Structure 1
Amino acid sequence: MSFRTLDDIDAAGKRILVRVDLNVPLNDDGTISDATRIERVAPTIRELSEKGGKVILLAHFGRPKGTVVKDMSLAPIAQGVADAIGREVAFADDCIGPAAEKAVTAMKDGDVLLLENTRFHAGEEKNDADFAKALAANGDLYVNDAFSAAHRAHASTEGLARLLPSYAGRTMQEELEALEKGLGKPQKPVVAIVGGAKVSTKIDLLLNLVKKVDAVVIGGGMANTFLAARGTKVGKSLCEHDLAATAKTIMTEAATTGCAIILPVDAVVAREFKAGAASEVVSVDQVPDDAMILDAGPQTVEKVNEWIGRANTLVWNGPLGAFEIEPFDKATMAAARFAADETKAGKLVSVAGGGDTVSALNQAGVASDFTYVSTAGGAFLEWMEGKELPGVAALAK
């Protein structure tokens, strides 16, 4: 897809509405506990400000459902943005109407202004045309730098892009270019790792991937459902037995398209799910009736790493086991570190995303070694499912 970027903007003197994701977690005292999302959009804000633009930030916070909720005000976030970009950030207590207009009118070239939570207005999530026009009234140009909100057709993510000249911010640009390398026009062979607890949350994802990649490694609780569908007994493991037919359909589709489905050959099992629980490695066809599979075994890790070693591109969503507690983190950590080493050696393009995946890569200490790690959550998953993202589609030239 072709889209315009900040390179195409003459920012000086322009009022630039910039959609960002500032939906950051707060401590009990109202301070920001994790500023990752702010740090990701800081380069776009700084660049537009340095070029003399009047930078007007649009964002949501929480789920106020179209009403003003004091605890969901963006006011406490303004200082966090200021700290990240190294300059003052003004705040207006509404995103449309007199308060917003007055604050925008007072801006000088290079100033940065944060407007109040767009979701305080019901028109935001309804993508209401009049609300979008009210937002557009305060801008000359529109920049979307919130890929994480791009799967929502809201007024500030999709409606605005239809009303003003529209551009991708640096984070959006980086994300789209990385995703294009991952599944759009990847270097083959392509291997996907899909893990997590339930097949039910990733049916669309798996059905899309088996048409596009050379192999899908299935891990986590999801793998148990596939093993059971194949007739393997999985003891007391987490397993969606009612989805056996779905698992068989996915395996049949993979066989039709020539995509290899990689399932565990051995597993780490335990009788209880807690840190330090007594565990053992068994073949997947030897899982005791009173035990549960909590991680992939060493032979499976070897097999997964062989596939990663053959690949030119890796797309990863979901862990291989219950990585949050030891000793069930070993498979995920080992595969993550191997993929990172292959990436650093220039042999692999590695694109990963999803909350658990990001946590696992951070735990392994390799997140910065992957080609790209998306923090976008739902938008990343919908992209992997092959769905059109309204906020992205609206930026198309």
Structure 2
Amino acid sequence: MIIKNINNFNFENKIALIRVDYNVPINNNYEIIDDTRIQYSIPTIQKIICEKGKVVLISHFGRPKGKRLKNLSLKFLVPFLTKKFGIPVKFCDDCIGNNVINKIKKLKSGDILLLENLRFYKEEEEENYNFGQELSKNGDIYVNDAFSVAHRNHSSIITTPKFFLEKKCMGFLMKKEIENFKKFFSGQHKKPITVILGGSKVSSKLNIIKSLIDFSNFILIGGGMAYPFIKKKYGGKIGNSLTEKYSIIENTLEEILSELNKKNKNNILLFPKDVVISKTFDNNKNTKIVPIHSIPNGWIGLDIGPKSIKYFCNIIEKSKTILWNGPLGVFEFSNFSIGTKKIAKKISEITKNGAYSLVGGGDSIAALKMEKCEKKVSYLSTGGGSMLEILKNKVLPGIKSLYI
């Protein structure tokens, strides 16, 4: 089985149905806060335009749950995309049906048509055969360039490609993502290898630790990820810091700690020494710095403290390969962003000195951008959930569906 890439096709007079991920963060004025995913999709679209092909873009936006919500329409992207490509980008207020087909028939070579939010149909999230088939009528060649949703079992990702038989491929972004993760796990990189995991979604990342025990030299745990371990392993007092029900993750924690002990690798899993705590979950200045295992009841750990920053940065300093996913604190609050930003800066510094760094997840990318370091890492992945799944050594559904 093979996967074709975009270079295997000539798109002249062909309609390319491209699955992109334009689920970008916006402010209240519908201004895009981070256009990384759009920027990364441009080379694929430009290749098709240059070959005098026609482009039909499909994406989701937000969580409309099958309802047609005006505030979740993709129409706001038209002026932005028009400016990016230097040509008028057309829009259709649906993604399947005769209206769409008629608009596509009027396309000329080099035209771009953006279709309406896929998730206005509940069938998109149901891996629905009929919906997938209807979407397939919108193009001659299917191109998946949405790595960030390649872990989803959704119709446009899984079902639609089936109707294109051999006329399907991955775009430049998807190809680059796959190549960089293959490279990361290939054993080509120099040791020590350090993995940094943060964020508040503890349960989604615990199995990643299992997959990385034999691969990594150090696994640094921060953010909401750290507190369950501190409670389980050290019997620490973590105040009100837990973000998920402890009972749900306790068994997995036990398995990880048992496996580390069995393999005599307890020293690779490392935690913060101290944390910045507060009584309220907001950007207040009423804070204290305490050891991570001694957080008083009623207090919440919201950032790693100065000792932790120094400890983690010292480990990063001597690393030759780095993978980072997830913030080390509630960095969206400026008073609790110091730890995450310091880690971002340190990663960019060692990259400059020759280390290989792979960073993914929206919050990690945002932290790099805060420090103007996003172009100072080896590879910036657009995947959040996809990155987490691929780190579990899984073949993502969106990649599997491209096999011929």
Q: Which category describes the TM-score, using the shorter chain as reference length?
A: 0.7 to 0.9
Contact 1:276-1:326 at 8 Å conserved across structures: no
Larger CA deviation: 213-222 vs 184-193: 184-193
- 2-structure distance, mates of 1:205, 1:76: 37
Aligned residue number for residue 177 of structure 2: 175
TM-score normalized with structure 2 length = 0.86
Aligned residue number for residue 53 of structure 2: 53
- 2-structure distance, mates of 1:4, 1:11: 14
Larger CA deviation: 25-34 vs 159-168: 25-34
Contact 2:329-2:339 at 8 Å conserved across structures: yes
What one-letter code is carried by the residue in structure 2 that aligns with 1:97? G
Q: 1:321 aligns with which of 329, 333, 349?
A: 329
Task: State yes or no: 1:338 paired with 2:346.
Answer: yes
Closer, same or farther: CA 24–290 of 1 in aligned 2, 3 Å: closer
Closer, same or farther: CA 173–291 of 1 in aligned 2, 3 Å: same
Secondary structure of the equivalent of 1:63?
coil
Task: State yes or no: 1:218 paired with 2:221.
Answer: yes
- 2-structure distance, mates of 1:144, 1:84: 20
Larger CA deviation: 326-335 vs 47-56: 326-335
RMSD value, Cα:
2.9
> Aligned ranges for residues 4-23 of structure 1 at < 5 Å?
4-23=4-23
Task: State yes or no: 1:389 paired with 2:392.
Answer: no
Contact 2:82-2:89 at 8 Å conserved across structures: yes
Closer, same or farther: CA 307–181 of 1 in aligned 2, 3 Å: farther
Query: Offset of 1:285 from its aligned partner?
Result: 5.9
Contact 1:141-1:166 at 8 Å conserved across structures: yes
Closer, same or farther: CA 266–70 of 1 in aligned 2, 3 Å: closer
Cα shift readout 1:4-61 (whole Å, capped 9, x = no counterpart): 2222221111111111112234454555454333222122212211111111111222
What one-letter code is carried by the residue in structure 1 that aligns with 2:346? F
- 2-structure distance, mates of 1:236, 1:138: 54
Cα shift readout 1:160-181 (whole Å, capped 9, x = no counterpart): 2222211111221222222223
Secondary structure of the equivalent of 2:151?
coil
Unaligned runs of 5+ in 2: none
Secondary structure of the equivalent of 1:49?
helix
> Aligned ranges for residues 122-201 of structure 1 at < 5 Å?
122-164=122-164, 165-183=167-185, 185=187, 187-189=189-191, 190-197=193-200, 199-201=202-204
Cα shift readout 1:105-155 (whole Å, capped 9, x = no counterpart): 111211111222223334322222233222222322111111122111222
What one-letter code is carried by the residue in structure 2 that aligns with 1:170? F
- 2-structure distance, mates of 1:258, 1:188: 22
Q: How many residues align?
A: 395
Query: Offset of 1:267 from its aligned partner?
Result: 0.7
What one-letter code is carried by the residue in structure 1 that aligns with 2:211? N
- 2-structure distance, mates of 1:127, 1:295: 39
Closer, same or farther: CA 30–191 of 1 in aligned 2, 3 Å: closer
Secondary structure of the equivalent of 2:174?
helix
Contact 2:304-2:329 at 8 Å conserved across structures: yes
Larger CA deviation: 155-164 vs 118-127: 118-127
Secondary structure of the equivalent of 1:163?
helix
- 1-structure distance, mates of 2:269, 2:277: 23
TM-score normalized with structure 1 length = 0.87
Contact 1:151-1:389 at 8 Å conserved across structures: yes
Contact 2:202-2:225 at 8 Å conserved across structures: yes
Aligned residue number for residue 358 of structure 1: 365
Query: Offset of 1:283 from its aligned partner?
Result: 4.9
Cα shift readout 1:329-371 (whole Å, capped 9, x = no counterpart): 333333322211111122x211112232222222233222111
